[in-house]
A and B are shown apart, each in its own frame.
Chain A
Amino acid sequence: MADVIVEHGRVVGTTGARKRTGLHNALRRKSMVAFFLTLPLIVLIALFVLYPALFSMHLATLNKSMQKFVGFGNFTFLFKRETFWMVVKQSCIFAITAVIFKALIGFIVAHFVHNIPAKGQRKWRGMLLVPWVIPPAMSTLAWLWLFDPSYSAFNYTLSFFGVGPIPWLGDAAWARFSVILVNVWYGSPFFMIMYLAALKSVPDQLYEAAAIDGANWWQKIWYVTLPMMRNIIAITTLFSLIVTFANFDIVRILTSGGPLDQTQIFATYAFRVGIESNDIPLGASVSLFMVPILAVAAIFILRDVSKRGNEA
C-alpha cells in the first residue's frame, strides 16, 4: 500500500533529473513514509521519555535550591553517603534475585503449560497470567493486607501450626523476602508467556532426533530447549532487569523502604529524597544512577544476542 502511494507521489512530483535515479528516490520516499508513520511514536517518546530524561539530567546538575549549577556535585555527595551505597546494594540484590526467580519459575511453569493438552491449555494460560494483568498497585495492596503487621492472614494461618507470628514487614530479612516474593509473583507470568512462545517454536523433530540418540529429559532441555531459547531468555532477562531495577510501586506500598531503609531501592529512595525531603536534584541523581548499571547489563546481554544472531 505504501509503495503505491510512493509510486503515485513519484510520478506526480518528479523532474527529468530525478527519473534517472527513480529507484533511489523511491527508496528514499519509502523511508520518508516510514518516518511519517513512526512520527507519532517518535513524538510521544520525545515528549514522555526523552524530555523527562534530559530534564532529570539537567536537574541532577543543580544544587538543592535549584539555583546553581554544581556539575557532578550531587553524585560526589551521594558517593560519600552510607545510605546511598546501601540502596545500591539492595537494588542489586532485589533486582537480581527477583529476576532469577522469575526466570526460573517462568521456565518451569512454561514447561508444565506446554505439556498440557491443547484443549485445556488456553484456560491455564489465562489463569496464570492473572498476576501480571492486575495493576500492581492493587495487587500489592492485597499483599499488604496479607502481610499486615497486626492482622496478617498468613500469620493467622501459620498460628494453627504453632508457627509465628512472623514480622513479614517489620524485620529487615523478612521484609526483603516479602518484597522480592511479591515482585516474583507479579513478574513470573511475563517470563512464562515468553518462554511458552519460545517453546512452541522449537521444532518437534529436534526432540525426536534427541530421543533417537537416547537423550534423557535433562539432556533434551540442556542440548535442545535451552540453546533454542537463548535469545528469548536473554532479551526477557534484560527487559525484566530494567523494569525490576526501576520498580517503585511494590516496595513503596509494602514497606516504603523500611525498616531502617533496608528495603529501599533506587526509585523509592529517589522519591524519599526528592519529593518527601524536597531535594529534587539529589532525587534525580539517585534515579539517574541506575542508568550506567543498566547500560552495562544491556551492552553485555545484547552483544551476546547479536553475536548469536550472526552465527545463525
Chain B
Amino acid sequence: MSRKKLTRRQFVAATAMSSAALITAPYVRGAYAAGKLSIGFWDHWVPGANDSSRALVNEWAAKEKVEVSIDYITSNNKKIELTVAAEAQAKSGHDILQMYTWWPHAYAEQLEPVNDVVEPAIKQNGEVNGTVKYLGQAAGKWLAVPATPGSQIKGPCSRIDLMKKHAGIDVTELYPVGGPPKADSWNMDTFLKAAEACQKAGFAFGIGLGETTDSVDTAGAIFQSFGAELVNAKGDLTVKTDQVRQALEYYKKLIAFLPPDAPSWDDASNNKWLISGRGALIMNPPSAWAVAKRDAPQVAEQCWTHGFPAGPKGRFAPYLPYYWGLWSFSKNKEAAKSLLTYLSQSSSIEKFVAASGGYDLPAYANMTTLKTWAEEGPPKGTLYHYPNPYNHQTLSIAASPAPPKIAQQIYAQATLTKMALRFAQGEKMETALAWAEGECEGFMRS
C-alpha cells in the first residue's frame, strides 16, 4: 500500500479551494444557503392566511440555516406600491418583495432574472397562462416568480336564488360541481337580460364604474370579449375601431341596469352590495363570499362563483396575478432563490390555497383542481369553478395586450371605465373615443 505524498503545490491548491468553498458556502443555493434574508409579503385579506406563509418560510429557514425576517405589507391605500417605489429609489430594502400585476415590468431594470426558479416550477407544476407570462416575462427573461398568495380571478359571484327567481338562470346547472361548465348559453346577451331582470326586481348587479381595480377589471374583460383594444400589442393606437364602439354600446346598455351610484364605487362597495343581500351578482374573488359566511350566512349559502359570460370574441375572465420579485440589489440572491423555489413547490402551493380558503390561485395549470375548491362551502362546491379548472375562459387583464408599460397607465387611470361612463352619461361616441385616444397618446411617453 503506497502512501501518496502531498506536494506543496497541491497543499496550496487544496487550501485555496477549501477556503473558497467555505466563503461561498452561505450563498450556495440549496442545503448550504445561509445568512440573512428579509422578505416583504402582501398582508393577506383572509384571516390566518399569513400564518401559512410564515410557517413555510420558517420551515425553509430552519432547514437552510438562514435568518429570516418577514414584513406583511398591506395593499390598503397603495402601501405596497409605495414600498416598492421607495425601495427601488433607495436601492435598498427587502431582498424579496411581493408585487402585483404591472410592477415586475415597471421595475424590470432593477429586478434579478429568476428563470432558474420559474422554469423548474413550470416543469413541476405545469404551464402558466398567457397573462402570467405577459406580466412576468420580458424578452424571455422571467422578471419575478408567480406567487400563489394574492393571485385571483375576479369572475362573477352570483346569488343562486335571485338569479333563478328573477332571471330564470340556474348558475349551478351552468357550472356544476365536479364537471365541466355547460355554459354555452351564458353570453353577453344573457348577461344583459339577467342584469335588467334583476335590476327591475330590486337586486341590481353590483358592478362598479369607479377607478379602482374591481371596476377596471370587469370593464377590461367585457372589452376583451368584444375584441376591443385601446392600444394593440405593437403599441399602436386602436381606439377608433368597430370593436371598441361595440363594447361601448354594450356597456352603455349595461350601465342603465347598474346601481346609480356605481361611478363612486370602490373595491369594497361590491362586497358590501352582495353581503347586504341587495345584489344578485358581483365580480369578485371569493373574499366577499368568505365575509358573508361570517356576517350573513344566509347570503353566503346562496353564492356561486363561476365563469364570465362570453362575448363575440370569446370568454375572458379578469385575472390578477401576484409575483415575488427579487431585487438586483438584494444581498442574498441565492438564498432568496432557494426560498422562492421552495414556495413554488406543489406542496407549498397546496398549503397557500388551503390557508386562504381557496382565495389564492396558483399560476400553474396542474394546480387548479386542488381539493380545497371542491370542498369549500356552503354551498358545497361554490368555489369549484373559481380556478377555471376546465380552461373554458381566457384569463386576462384589462388593457392587455398593449405593451405593459402603456397598459399600466390605461389600467391605473381607469381609462376604460371612464370612457364607458362618459359615453353612458350622454357624451357622443366620437368625443368619448377622441378623449380616450388623447389619453392613450399621453401614456406612450417613454
Contacts and interface: CB of A to CB of B under 8 A. Distances in A.
B82 interface: yes
Contact of A275 (B78, B435, B443): B78
Contacts of B446: 63-65
B264 A83 contact: no
B51 to A, nearest CB: 28
B85 A280 contact: yes
Given A275-B82, A276-B78, A259 B413 contact: no
Nearest to A283: B85
A275 B438 contact: no
Contacts of B276: 150-151
Interface string A260-276: 11000000000110011
Interface in B257-282: 259-266, 269, 272-273, 276, 278
A269 to B, nearest CB: 10
A48 interface: no
A258 B263 contact: yes
A121 interface: no
Given A77-B442, A82-B435, A83-B439, A276 B264 contact: no
Interface residues of B, number: 42
Contacts of B278: 150
Contacts of A149: 259, 261-262, 264-265, 269
A257 B211 contact: yes
B377 interface: no
B211 A167 contact: no
Contact of A150 (B77, B209, B269, B443): B269
Given A64-B445, A150-B276, A170-B260, A258 B78 contact: no
A258 B261 contact: no
Contact of A261 (B77, B272, B418): B418
Nearest to B210: A258
A277 B272 CA distance: 27
Contacts of A169: 261, 264
A278 interface: yes
A233 B3 CA distance: 100
A169 to B, nearest CB: 4
Contact of B264 (A65, A77, A167): A167
B262 A276 contact: no
A123 interface: no
B261 A150 contact: yes
Interface in B398-444: 405, 408-409, 412-413, 418, 421-422, 435, 438-439, 442-443
Contacts of B413: 272, 276-277
A255 B212 CA distance: 10
Contact of A277 (B210, B412, B422): B412
Contacts of B438: 81-82
A180 B443 CA distance: 30
Contacts of A165: 260-261
A150 B422 CA distance: 22
B211 A258 contact: yes
A6 interface: no
Given A83-B439, A278-B106, A280-B85, A150 B259 contact: yes
A279 interface: yes
Contacts of B106: 278
B418 A77 contact: no
A103 interface: no
A140 interface: no
B266 A276 contact: no
Contacts of B272: 150-151
A168 B260 CA distance: 11
A154 to B, nearest CB: 13
Contacts of B210: 256, 258-259
A273 to B, nearest CB: 8
A175 interface: yes
Contacts of B264: 149, 167-170, 175, 255, 258-259
Contacts of B266: 256
A170 B445 contact: no
B409 A170 contact: no
18 contacts: A63-B445, A64-B446, A149-B259, A150-B259, A169-B261, A170-B261, A256-B211, A256-B212, A258-B211, A261-B418, A275-B78, A275-B81, A276-B78, A277-B408, A277-B409, A278-B102, A278-B106, A278-B412
Interface of B: 77-78, 81-82, 85, 89, 102-103, 106, 109, 209-212, 259-266, 269, 272-273, 276, 278, 405, 408-409, 412-413, 418, 421-422, 435, 438-439, 442-443, 445-446
The 7 A-B pairs with the shortest beta carbon distances in the complex, nearest first, are A170-B264, A169-B264, A149-B261, A170-B261, A259-B263, A277-B412, A276-B412
Given A168-B264, A259-B209, 4 more contacts: A82-B438, A165-B260, A276-B412, A278-B405
